[in-house]
Structure 1
Amino acid sequence: MALLGAGVMGAAVNGASGRAVLTWFASGKRGMAMGIRQTATPVAAAVAAAVLPAVAVGAGIPDAFWILAALHLSVAVAVVLWVRDPPGARQKRATRGSARELLRDGRLLRMSLASGLLIVPQFTATSLMVELLYDHRGLGASLAAALLGVAQILGGVGRLAAGAWSDAVRSRFGPLRLIAVAVGVGFAACAALDHAPIWLLCAVLLPTAGLAICWTVLPNTAAGEIAPAGLSGMALGINNTAIYLVAAITPPAIGWVAVEVAWPVALMVAAASAVVARLVLRDLTEESPTRAAVARVPS
């Protein structure tokens, strides 16, 4: 129950920290700022994966939890001391939009659906890459794990690049559509290279995995930007809920397909999910339908 409670409370961090980025940074800098914030997640996960197991083995599992507790308490103190709403935030909250208005916005629902679909190739890469290379293709376990680390680094760098790219072109959905296509093509190529030389498969798989990891900065930024005033946190929560729900079922489902059917079929499922996400994102823009209709009315 304690772990369940910690997980529930920890899940709120995504929406809260994303809202902080959205309120503090102007539109032309939000993508890069969100990219930095998103990159911190895999970096912290990599550090935890390297440190906590060693502590648990050497000193015991309780000491690993004590380290986590001390770290989180330190972060809580830092948030109390340094995190503040920007000037004018109270006035904006006074003009808060309605939750009904947010839920009626088809853009948010379509984007959340696309995010859930794009999580399938992301978790196929991050959860099953080692099994694909080690169990299926016979690569050494240490080398397979190292290649997964390389893919995570590429994904982290890609998050920064995707955020900066979206700032430069003043669009979140345009880059997201292109990344979805690239991910779909990449996984389809990996399926076709199932029996190719291992170096060739890795040469395609690593950048594909990096692309599958990097896109999350874009819908997280867009969710807050398209939300009515005062509801950016709720919009982020809706998008993240779609992501987490699909993330929970993807590894066992895709793993079952890989083992019981075939690895190329599992990779094609990931490719198809990215393609369907691209179709869901078709014609999606940052401009609300209401504003677009008003803009088309002749003066």
Structure 2
Amino acid sequence: MGYRWVVLGIGALAQGVNAAVFLGLPAISPQLRDHFSLTLPQVGLLLGAVNLGTMIAIVPWGVFADRRGERVAMTIGGAGAAVCLLSAALGNAWVAGLALLGAGLFGASVNAASGRAVMSWFAKESRGLAMGVRQTATPLGAALTAAVLPGIAISAGVPTAFVVLASVTAFVAFAVALLVREPPGAVRGGSEHGLVLKDPRLLRLSLASGLLVVPQFTATALMVPLLHEHRGMGVTTAAVVFAVAQALGGAGRLAAGVWSDRARSRIGPLKVVSVLTAGGFVLVAVLDQAPLPVLVAVLVPTAVLALCWNGLAVTEAGELAPDGRSATAIAMQNSANYLSAATTPFVAAFVAVHVGWPAAMLLAAVAAAAARVLLQPWRSLRASSPQNSRSVS
């Protein structure tokens, strides 16, 4: 019974370290901009390279994890990501962009494989909480990175910041290889993954998730530039606000997981969060020129809402899958997320610079509202799936 929490802890740690790259790096966007002599939209492209790599590789990693197990997938992926991050410290913007693309290609293993571990070791009635813990590691990893990485980048330089990320990633890959194993009787997937990827419910969930990533990454990629460059807040203070929002977003993921367990529904809470997120971004757009304390008081809870929903969608995706195919289903759901994550930083920054910051916030609101519409005709068939009755002791 106790070992499943070890697996969850290692999986959450791996998830948090992976998030330090694709969510934490925006905290040093001013330093990246200066170091590589980039414009704000170009920094968005650089940051989006990680997510592009993850989007390309996540489904193949999911299939691999279902066939070979999560320990092998996460160990290989973590080691490869560490090498790529180390390479990012050694060159110009083009080298860094390719290295971050590679970090995404390898780091994608964590997203699918750690989710499979949770689905395998936890029964349905506690899975929302467990997946919430795993997903909470994402904003917490980003928050810790936002609190520490700017100081490293300012005092020791951007290359040193990449070396630190590479070192932590390598350490976690070693921990996975040493401590993670599958439960007794674990089912391995075969060649039938195509049936999972064609499930219309999974496709609709994936599309809705991709739309919800637009407000999430609008908040993540633009919070520091909005507060620092647009409204004149000090860069360190802006990074602290970013870190606070990420930490609260992590707590929100945990709360959302408990909520879904008690409601016996992942989609019901997801619908509510979609509506509240849309409303929050409309309010941020309206208050664009309000006094800074007022803007921050609205921006932070809106960012928390935009960050808190991921565990609900990931759990629903895993529960829609046949037994032994959860990594493939989770990877499919995540692939839409990373497509949006790869494009949103650039698109949102372009709209903010060339149209206006309120327009970028309204774009995020529209995406959240569209996700809510997609989730409306939902009927879950989780109860009939072997994946959903499994219990491991």
Contact kept? 2:210, 2:340, Cα under 8 Å = yes
Partner residue, 1:78 = 175
CA distance in 2, matches of 1:58, 1:201: 30
Contact kept? 1:97, 1:228, Cα under 8 Å = no
* Aligned residue runs from structure 1 range 253-268, under 5 A: 253-268=347-362
Which amino acid in structure 2 is aligned with residue 269 of structure 1? L
CA distance in 2, matches of 1:62, 1:46: 20
TM-score of the aligned structures, taking structure 2 as reference length? 0.67
Which residue, out of 201, 206, 219, partners 1:112? 206
Contact kept? 1:172, 1:222, Cα under 8 Å = yes
**Deviation of the 1:205 alpha carbon:** 1.2
Distance verdict in 2 for CA 1:266–1:73, change over 3 Å: closer
Partner residue, 2:109 = 12
Instruction: Give yes or no for the alignment of 1:124 onto 2:227.
Output: no
Partner residue, 2:22 = none
Distance verdict in 2 for CA 1:52–1:134, change over 3 Å: closer
Instruction: Give yes or no for the alignment of 1:182 onto 2:276.
Output: yes
Which residue, out of 229, 238, 262, partners 1:144? 238
Distance verdict in 2 for CA 1:289–1:221, change over 3 Å: closer
1 or 2 for the larger relative contact order (CA 8 Å, sep ≥6)? 1
Which residue, out of 71, 74, 93, partners 2:188? 93
Which amino acid in structure 1 is aligned with residue 126 of structure 2? K
CA distance in 2, matches of 1:124, 1:264: 12
Contact kept? 2:139, 2:307, Cα under 8 Å = no
**Deviation of the 1:64 alpha carbon:** 5.8
Partner residue, 1:279 = 373
CA distance in 1, matches of 2:313, 2:360: 25
Contact kept? 2:267, 2:375, Cα under 8 Å = yes
Instruction: Give yes or no for the alignment of 1:211 onto 2:310.
Output: no
Unaligned runs of at least 5 residues, structure 2: 1-83, 88-98, 386-393
Partner residue, 1:162 = 256
Distance verdict in 2 for CA 1:261–1:155, change over 3 Å: same
**Deviation of the 1:232 alpha carbon:** 0.7
Partner residue, 1:23 = 120
**Deviation of the 1:47 alpha carbon:** 3.5
Distance verdict in 2 for CA 1:150–1:99, change over 3 Å: same
CA distance in 1, matches of 2:170, 2:295: 44
**Deviation of the 1:230 alpha carbon:** 1.5
Contact kept? 2:227, 2:238, Cα under 8 Å = yes
Contact kept? 2:249, 2:304, Cα under 8 Å = yes
Contact kept? 1:97, 1:230, Cα under 8 Å = no
CA distance in 2, matches of 1:99, 1:57: 46
Instruction: Give yes or no for the alignment of 1:195 onto 2:292.
Output: no
Which amino acid in structure 1 is aligned with residue 131 of structure 2? M
Contact kept? 1:97, 1:229, Cα under 8 Å = no
Which amino acid in structure 2 is aligned with residue 40 of structure 1? A
How many corresponding residue pairs? Answer: 288
CA RMSD of aligned residues (A): 2.5
Unaligned runs of at least 5 residues, structure 1: 292-299
1:154-194 CA deviation, whole Å, 9 max, x = no partner? 10110111111111111111111100000001111111222
CA distance in 2, matches of 1:119, 1:140: 27
**Deviation of the 1:42 alpha carbon:** 2.8
Contact kept? 1:22, 1:224, Cα under 8 Å = yes
CA distance in 2, matches of 1:266, 1:46: 23
Partner residue, 2:137 = 40
Greater shift, 59-68 or 206-215, is seen at: 59-68
CA distance in 1, matches of 2:122, 2:377: 27
Contact kept? 1:32, 1:164, Cα under 8 Å = yes
The share of aligned pairs that are identical, in percent, is 55
Contact kept? 2:271, 2:375, Cα under 8 Å = yes
